[in-house]
Amino acid sequence: MKRFLPALFLILLLSTSNAQRLSALAPVPDWTALEAFQETITRDEFVYLLEEVYAPRQAARGLIDIEPERALIRTTLEPAQTWVLRFAKDRASLRPAPRFWRTAAELTAARAPAEKRPLAGWRIALDPGHIGGEWARMEERWFKIGDTVPVTEGDMTLRVAELIAPQLSDLGAEILWVRQSAAPVTPERPETLKEAARAELALLGITPKRETYDGPDDPERGSTLQFESEVLFYRASEIRHRATLLNERLRPDLTICLHFNAEAWGDPHTPTLVPNNHFHVLVNGCYSEGELRNDDVRFEMLNKLLGRCYNEELAASENVAATMASLIGLPPYEYPGKNALQTGESAYIWARNLLANRLYHSPVVFLEPYVMNSQEVWERVQAGDFPGEQMVAGAMRKSLVREYADAVVAGVRSWAGAQKKETPIQATVPK
């Protein structure tokens, strides 16, 4: 009998791994990592965070069952396997949830009385969105009108980060860079991800007829191996490597993700310019039922929920958004669809499930100011960077990147200034 055991074990292992339902390039979740969160949350707080923030519209129905003393969480769907989270009986018996980051209140309370710099002791990561440079066209963050200056989000966000860093340093913060050049963080490249791309297409029921595509207008582009491996590279692999860097090496108290927004611009060589210009800030939340059916997404959502990022992420985002909005003068963006949900008190703050704010284990302020293909922002990109103010797009203004950077610095400073005493990071459950 004994000699059959290894074979039986192998079959079990294979059937288990076959049952995993994973999103692109996601590792198989290690659910034992969540054991550290046993009895660190009350049932009320868990239900509130799940139903109001992370899985609104009953998105976790059938995936997470809430009982009086515990939650049963599906680790796999077929066959159905379960991990059990035990709630703390009451607030008094809460065990502390493990986390490497400190709240702004804790950082402020820990500051020496003689220390005058408001961000002394803060570890702030700067994450300039996208890659830019030679990758900007591939990642579809590039457009250009005739012979004018191209608009490339990944280069603009890096320039903003370069302007922010010395200012936050002067205020006492330790700056941690997610990237400091127009180069990928991931060692993978589209060529190394071809087999993964083939597997992703197979999951969608697509057998690629062609390996490569002929430019952005190719109607079969989306079903080519080239396109799929490029998306895996700049979206999945790049963000996953940034997350590993942040969670395992940098371990910041706060991460600032810098982006510029855009509306559909069509052909990048004859882009549509729009009159709209707006601003919003994202916190992690609003997972859909479809997203939560992936085992890794359920796992990562719970890690984020139990890690208690929400309260700190929301408060920091509200504070930064209010300060930035008053300085850059843009109205709040309103999501038309169901992939985002307005959360908290500010019209500028939306909960949305992005790979970056999902995988980053400490609080993230995810900034989306300025519509790159608005007439005004396009004119400001053409004017380039300059000190002081100049007449651009009909008004005296700072350069676009300086206005953005200065507004972020003012926002973080305001967030630090709002700290008075240490407050516990317990979600406020409305009665």
Least separation in angstroms between residue 407's CB and Zn ion is 17
Least separation in angstroms between residue 294's CB and Zn ion is 23
> For binding to Zn ion (CB under 5 A), which residues are involved?
129, 259
Considering beta carbons, is residue 259 or 304 the nearer one to Zn ion? Answer: 259
Least separation in angstroms between residue 42's CB and Zn ion is 37
Least separation in angstroms between residue 277's CB and Zn ion is 16
Considering beta carbons, is residue 308 or 352 the nearer one to Zn ion? Answer: 352
Considering beta carbons, is residue 129 or 184 the nearer one to Zn ion? Answer: 129
Q: Which of 33, 107, 120 is nearest to 302 (CA)?
A: 33
CA angle, residues 397, 399, 402, in degrees to nearest 5: 115
Least separation in angstroms between residue 183's CB and Zn ion is 17
Tell me the CA distances in angstroms from 139 to 24, 175, 242, 429, one per residue in order. 17, 26, 16, 41
Considering beta carbons, is residue 37 or 260 the nearer one to Zn ion? Answer: 260
In residues, how long is the chain? 431
Considering beta carbons, is residue 201 or 372 the nearer one to Zn ion? Answer: 372
Least separation in angstroms between residue 268's CB and Zn ion is 15
Least separation in angstroms between residue 379's CB and Zn ion is 20
Considering beta carbons, is residue 111 or 259 the nearer one to Zn ion? Answer: 259
Give the tokens for residue 241: 């490597």
**Terminal Cα-to-Cα distance of the chain (whole angstroms):** 59
Least separation in angstroms between residue 22's CB and Zn ion is 25
Least separation in angstroms between residue 258's CB and Zn ion is 8
Considering beta carbons, is residue 129 or 363 the nearer one to Zn ion? Answer: 129
Least separation in angstroms between residue 179's CB and Zn ion is 14
Considering beta carbons, is residue 129 or 252 the nearer one to Zn ion? Answer: 129
Considering beta carbons, is residue 171 or 330 the nearer one to Zn ion? Answer: 330
Considering beta carbons, is residue 118 or 129 the nearer one to Zn ion? Answer: 129
Least separation in angstroms between residue 259's CB and Zn ion is 3
Considering beta carbons, is residue 129 or 132 the nearer one to Zn ion? Answer: 129
Q: Closest CB to Zn ion belongs to which residue?
A: 259
- CA distance linking residue 427 with residue 41, whole number of Å: 10
- CA distance linking residue 67 with residue 2, whole number of Å: 40
